[in-house]
Amino acid sequence: MLIDQYFTEREGKISFTREQGSNFAKQVADDFNPIHDIDARRFCIPGDLLFSIILSKYGLSRHMEFGFTGMVQDGVELILPEPAEDLALNDIEGKQYLTIRRTGECTHSASLIDTLTRAYVEFSGHSFPHLLIPVLAKHNVMINPARPVAMYESMSIDLDRLDITSPSLEFDHDEVVINGKRGEMQLAFHLIDAGEIVGRGVKRLIFSGLREYEKQAMEDIVISLNRRKADFLPH
């Protein structure tokens, strides 16, 4: 499947190298956030890679909720649980990193799962900075330009049916709550197949260290990320 090269599985456990996590972020999600760089001091595996693995291992259910409770670093071994309605990814010491709730009809169609995985992680990867910065700007705040990190809190999807073939994602609306230097954002989206809305979902982010908006500082972040992407792509 699409993501098999981005993790290692052995004896019911999965783990990641920095190269695998970084390549998934850049090659699949088009996500050039510095926290996913191989040499990042606070490197973490993309949450969307965990999402993708769950779909590949347990199938796509009509209703799915994912809660990100910890940052996965390279070398951490996560235990794959037995299939159930409620799942959790824990490491071998019992620390929890992800919770999953899945209900309704389920499909294991590899082509559908690959297509939906790519569509979602590209949408999710583009949320920073393409959606995040202008949305925060409407509230006259911005993230710390010296440490531009948004924490992935949760996501959910609800599908009306599973007899779809080529779903794509379309941004619907945002909801933002600002409380001093902290903030929460919900990015709502539609799932589209053959021109018809076949589902909907929400990605939730949390922020800390918010400050008054400075246009030039945010433009510099966008320029830096675009430059990093250009340097990564083959010439």
Over the stretch 172-186, which tens digit does the pLDDT of each residue have?
999 999 998 899 999
Q: What does the angle CA 72 – CA 132 – CA 158 come to, to the nearest 5 degrees?
A: 70
Q: What is the pLDDT of residue 148?
A: 64
Q: What is the pLDDT of residue 197?
A: 98
Q: What is the pLDDT of residue 1?
A: 67
User: Which helix or strand (DSSP H or E) is residue 116 part of?
Assistant: helix 110-126
Q: Domain span at residue 215?
A: 4-232
CATH of the domain at 113: 2.40.160
Q: What is the pLDDT of residue 227?
A: 85
- Regions of the chain short of the pLDDT cut 50: 235
Q: What is the pLDDT of residue 208?
A: 86
Please state the pTM of the whole predicted model: 0.92
Q: Going by DSSP bridges, is the β-strand pair 13-15/8-10 parallel, antiparallel, or unpaired?
A: antiparallel
User: How many folded domains does the chain comprise?
Assistant: 1
Of residues 74, 70, 116, the one with CA closest to residue 97? 70
